[in-house]
Amino acid sequence: MKLPSKEQLIDTYATWRLDDVLAIQDWALREAAIEAWIVGPGSEMDDNRVLIVTNDRKPLRTHITLGRDGKKVVFDSNGRRLPRRIAVEFMEKFGEGGIFRGIDVYSGYSPMSWEAFKYANPGISKALQVSQVAMGNWPKPAKKDDEVEPPFILNYLTHKLDTDVEEAAA
């Protein structure tokens, strides 16, 4: 398949929601559309930043750090404005079809695989729980002997167009 020209790609995809661009099935077209979305018209506005929010407006804590301070990136109920190129990286990891959706990023377990692992390896699963809590990756148990569930990422990030934000404010 022959790809459209760069100008045609920009005209078509630069104003789309990032979710829709990432959902394109043809890999070559998807990559070209992502690049067009990053450099397209309007990308210079707002310091080239877009609003990324969680689908349910509940906070999403990531394991990714930005900047020199080493703080992990958290998306609160208001979302975050990110540069377009960084927004693509976050959406590929934590978006609706993201590679970390539905799993615990620290252990790699999904809820179902975690239950199977706990059943088959109770001693090892307890040791993993203790080590992950000690490293601060998993929440602390309410009581000393309580089981700890991994923080599975069940919500996901989505791109909120500025026109959607303006309409909501009106």
**pLDDT tens digit sequence for 87-140:** 999 999 999 999 999 999 888 999 999 999 999 999 999 999 999 999 988 889
pLDDT in the model for residue 33: 92
Say if residue 117 is in the same domain as residue 59: no
- Whether the predicted pLDDT of 164 surpasses 70: no
Structural domain count of the chain: 2
At residue 47 the predicted structure's pLDDT band, cuts being 50, 70 and 90, is low
Residue 94 lies in a domain: yes
Same domain, 28 and 64: yes
Token pair 């661009």 is found at 21
User: 11 lies in a domain?
Assistant: yes
In-domain check, residue 141? yes
Contact 70, 62 (CB under 8 A): no
The pLDDT > 70 percentage for the chain reads 89
Give the pLDDT of residue 19: 93
Report the largest interatomic distance among the alpha carbons of the chain, rounded to a whole angstrom: 62
Distance from C-alpha of 21 to C-alpha of 33, rounded to nearest angstrom = 6
Q: CB-hemisphere CA count at 13 Å for 75?
A: 27
Would you say residue 1 lies in a domain?
Answer: no
CA distances from 34 to 21, 22, 26 (A): 6, 7, 12
What average pLDDT does the segment 9-27 reach? 90
Residue with tokens 């307890």: 126
Residue-range definition of the domain harbouring residue 22: 6-101+153-169
